[in-house]
Amino acid sequence: MPKIKNVSDLEKLALRRKKENSAYKKIITVCAGTGCSASGCGDVLKWLRVELSRKKLTRKIKIRTTGCHGFCEQGPLMVIEPGNIFYCQVNPNDIPEIISESIASDKIVERLLYKDPATGHKVIREKDVPFYKSQDRTVLGQNKLVDPCDIIDYISNGGYSALAKVLGKVNPETVIEEVKESGLRGRGGGGFPTGKKWEYCRRAEGTPKYVICNADEGDPGAYMDRSILEGNPHAVLEGMLIGAYAIGASHGFIYVRNEYPLAVQHSREAVREAEDLGLLGKNILGKSFSFDIKIARGGGAFVCGESTALMASLEGKVGEPRPKDIHTTDRGFMDFPTNLNNVETWANVPSIINRGAAWFAGKGKGKSKGTKIFALTGKIKNTGLVEVPMGLSIREVIYDIGGGSSTGKRIKAVQTGGPSGGCIPERLFDLEVDFEALSNAGSMVGSGGMVVMDESTCMVDVAKYFLSFLIDESCGKCVPCRIGLSRMLEIINDITSGNGTEDKLNLLRDTAQTVSIASLCALGKTAPNPVLSTLEHFREEYDAHIKEKRCPAGVCKALVRYRIDKKKCKGCGACLKACPHGAVVKKGSIYGINNAACQKCGICKETCKFCAITVA
């Protein structure tokens, strides 16, 4: 295919693909992101192609393989256009019926429709599914429109038109002003104004200049960046190209976790396609602007999500942060001016250029503009990726989109911002999702993790879990983080094992505050958040562990005592048969527990159908 030299060439390619698509009677879009791939979409696609070929329908029906649609727990997902027909949990055995009913005769396969658990009603169209209905899928919604390994698909949906616009008639300073006026802030956690960062880097002395996409997404349960890079890598490339033009950079990197093989594969394919069409390389779109991108794979170190540690890793050094008395926009990668933004930030840029700063700034509230993608997980009915306007309340995200508790138990808290985020209690769920509000509540937006917890969760144990993770992932360069986090974990371990004291609790708070102030990088400075936020909002649970030697949630084994309620016990003996430790003993016609032999595994409680076994 000849290289694209101007806007006219872009438009011709877009028109050609639209004409090709118009010749199809229907388009079947199948999600092939990591979530749906794990659910078996590969076999669905295989048998869909086989059946269409057998029915001689390949010239009438197009299959579009896309990235993540967001509703991961319902995968594999399928959308049929026209009609916006939404099928979920599709398996290969469903394919003949889908083709004979929905493709050949425009009927609905009702058993494959999504059933709203709140109303019991089946939903035909994707846009009417409650999970999607309350979202504003500005970035994530583009995934289902394009095959990530087909650059023409992206171009036919307006791709690279923003790049053509800025190269054709907009000077770099004007691009930076547009991004500044949009209010776009870094979506990787820090929330620094993107336009200001670009401006600092442009003004910095020294060449060459670099732009970097941070796709080293290491937070447990977070996969927003992965899904964008898997599903729409060209949006990220186009954003980086626009940023490079504005800053004056000629080289770029995408630093992506090696544990994301599909994201690595699609990024490489996107770079190759863009190079083949002349959208990366020398004299892009016939202009004097030249830019190249290399894919770098991270080794799995959580700390390499921090900007200076990431750049050290790119240089082939140990991934350790350095003091930021000199900003990376002045001296970053190889000591040259460097601008780093995360995947979601870059993916927002083309839409801002095409639709204008006012359009983006019109979403959100206060200083937090646009939309944000969150990974909604935990004890909640609807898990997956959600994209909402900044300023929406936590309550709306959890109950309107997430559907509320999946266990029937009361939701107690939500932890936002990844392992360094804080735990926000249910009474504060009317807080708006924005950078300042969450920070003031002892948490943060972070990369976008949102883990919902119900009343069966022990908040002291939650703090212990995240501390353990952060200790493992700390680079150990600075004393406050290296030593302070370990001392904090020792105190938490004492509390959960029944050896906690009031003095130790005061020491825990003091140590946490010291670590947050004195640590070198953002990992250490934010690592105490899980402890400080649980101490602030769930102090009664710490008191129960220390003063009463009791874990209210029944999670901390050293403080758990199982008992059998004599009034509820039916004497069926199920608990006796289930117990692997011989701790259940018969007492007349009912049963009891020998706590000396009990290993506190909880199997007896899970087995009892009469709820006779409780945690004392």
Q: Which residues contact 8 (CB under 8 A, 6 or more apart)?
A: none
The residue among 501, 520, 547 that closes a domain is 547
Residues forming a β-bridge with 351: none
Q: Kindly state whether residue 293 falls inside one of the protein's structural domains.
A: yes
172 and 297 fall within a common domain: yes
Q: Kindly state whether residue 9 falls inside one of the protein's structural domains.
A: no
Whole-number Å distance between alpha carbons of 560 and 595:
10
Q: Kindly state whether residue 136 falls inside one of the protein's structural domains.
A: no
The count of structural domains within the chain is 5
269 and 312 fall within a common domain: yes
Averaged pLDDT of the chain: 94
Q: Would you state the pLDDT for residue 518?
A: 95
**What is the CATH number for 490?**
1.20.1440.230
Secondary structure class of 368 (helix, strand, coil): strand
90 and 234 fall within a common domain: no
Q: Kindly state whether residue 138 falls inside one of the protein's structural domains.
A: no
Secondary structure class of 193 (helix, strand, coil): strand
158 and 298 fall within a common domain: yes
586 and 496 fall within a common domain: no
Q: Kindly state whether residue 555 falls inside one of the protein's structural domains.
A: no
504 and 539 fall within a common domain: yes
CB 11 within 8 A of CB 160: no
437 and 579 fall within a common domain: no
Look up the domain containing 422 and give its range. 364-454
- pLDDT tens string 423-466: 999 999 999 999 999 999 999 988 788 999 999 999 999 999 99
Q: Kindly state whether residue 271 falls inside one of the protein's structural domains.
A: yes
CB 604 within 8 A of CB 565: no
198 and 284 fall within a common domain: yes
Q: Which residues contact 604 (CB under 8 A, 6 or more apart)?
A: 562, 575, 578, 579, 583, 584, 593, 613
509 and 582 fall within a common domain: no
- pLDDT tens string 234-280: 999 999 999 999 999 999 999 999 899 999 999 999 999 999 999 99
Run of H or E residues at 489: helix 479-496
Whole-number Å distance between alpha carbons of 339 and 200:
9
Tokens 């003996």 belong to 573
323 and 418 fall within a common domain: no
Q: What is the pTM of this model?
A: 0.93
Q: Please, which pLDDT band fits residue 205 given cuts at 50, 70 and 90?
A: very high
357 and 465 fall within a common domain: no
Whole-number Å distance between alpha carbons of 458 and 450:
17
Whole-number Å distance between alpha carbons of 255 and 18:
33
450 and 474 fall within a common domain: no
DSSP letters spanning 86-151: EE-S--GGGHHHIIIIIITS----GGGSEE-TTT--EE-BGGGSHHHHT---TTGGGGGGS-TT-H
The residue among 454, 473, 492 that closes a domain is 454
**What is the CATH number for 411?**
3.10.20.600
Closest CA to 463 of 395, 542, 350: 542
- Distance of alpha carbon 205 from its chain centroid, rounded? 35
**What is the CATH number for 229?**
3.40.50.11540
- pLDDT tens string 457-498: 999 999 999 999 999 999 999 999 999 999 999 999 999 999
Q: Kindly state whether residue 139 falls inside one of the protein's structural domains.
A: no
Q: Kindly state whether residue 104 falls inside one of the protein's structural domains.
A: yes
